[in-house]
């Protein structure tokens, strides 16, 4: 079960050498976590294996970001995103994540794979206000319409800039 953790408002940073790796099954349950993941998120392997990856979800992350993640993975594509996660103590930590489908020898998707590293501070200056705005839009839209409303905001904004999600994320 997902523990109830109160965010502390404190942020911790990855170092340039920290690479956080995890694997999940098709439903997002963790099947592998490397040592760096356990150290930064402050969970033991036993606390992570078999548990939904939302165990590290921070409430400040807009739901639309995860809808984009799952829609992209389900279409067989890889996904790049800046994600604000939460440790077992309630501290926040930013990562730049590359999530990919994990395939067997026949090319069948058997789960997902995520590799995360320290984000560039300049990129976070761009992403923080976008996520803040997405969260506000989600709150105003109400639960049922939240993700659609915030994704529409992101897509309209990117269209206005003459770009799309992946090009934008990889350019900041």
Ligand X SMILES: Cc1cc2nc3c(=O)[nH]c(=O)nc-3n(C[C@H](O)[C@H](O)[C@H](O)COP(=O)(O)O)c2cc1C
Taking the complex as a whole, the smallest distance from the CB of residue 61 to ligand X amounts, in Å, to 6
Binding residues for ligand X, rule CB under 6 A, total: 16
* Least distance (Å) between residue 70 CB and ligand X: 6
Site of tokens 């839009």: 137
Confirm if 86 and 58 have CB atoms less than 8 A apart.
Answer: yes
Residue 83 contacts ligand X per CB under 6 A: yes
The CA-atom distances, in angstroms, between 4 and each of 45, 55, 94, 143 are 19, 9, 20, 20
Binders in 16-55 for ligand X, by CB under 6 A:
22, 24, 28, 53-54
User: What is the distance between the alpha carbons of residues 114 and 22, in angstroms, rounded to a whole number?
Assistant: 5
Among 85, 87, 147, 150, binds ligand X (CB under 6 A): 85
Q: Which is nearer to ligand X, 132 or 159 (CB)?
A: 132
Kindly tell me which residue out of 7, 21, 38, 57 binds ligand X, with binding defined by CB under 6 A.
57
Closer Cβ to ligand X, 83 or 163, answer by number: 83
58, HSE (Cβ side, Cα atoms, 13 Å)? 24
42-68-114 Cα angle (round to 5): 40
Q: What residues line the site for ligand X (CB under 6 A)?
A: 22, 24, 28, 53-54, 56-57, 61, 66, 69, 83, 85, 99, 112-114
């Amino acid at each position: 079960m997902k523990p109830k953790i109160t965010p502390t408002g404190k942020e911790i940073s990855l170092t340039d050498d920290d690479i956080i790796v995890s694997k999940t099954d098709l439903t997002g349950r963790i099947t592998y976590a490397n040592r760096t993941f356990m150290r930064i998120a402050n969970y033991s392997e036993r606390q992570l294996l078999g548990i939904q990856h939302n165990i590290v979800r921070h409430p400040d992350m807009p739901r639309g970001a995860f809808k984009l993640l799952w829609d992209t993975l389900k279409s067989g594509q890889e996904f790049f995103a800046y994600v604000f996660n939460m440790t077992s103590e309630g501290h926040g930590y930013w990562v730049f994540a590359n999530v990919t489908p994990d395939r067997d020898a026949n090319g069948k998707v058997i789960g997902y794979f995520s590799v995360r590293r320290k984000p560039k501070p300049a990129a976070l200056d761009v992403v923080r206000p976008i996520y803040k705005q997405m969260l506000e839009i989600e709150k105003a839209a109400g639960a049922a319409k939240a993700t659609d409303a915030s994704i529409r905001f992101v897509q309209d904004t990117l269209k206005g800039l003459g770009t799309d999600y992946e090009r934008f994320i990889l350019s900041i």
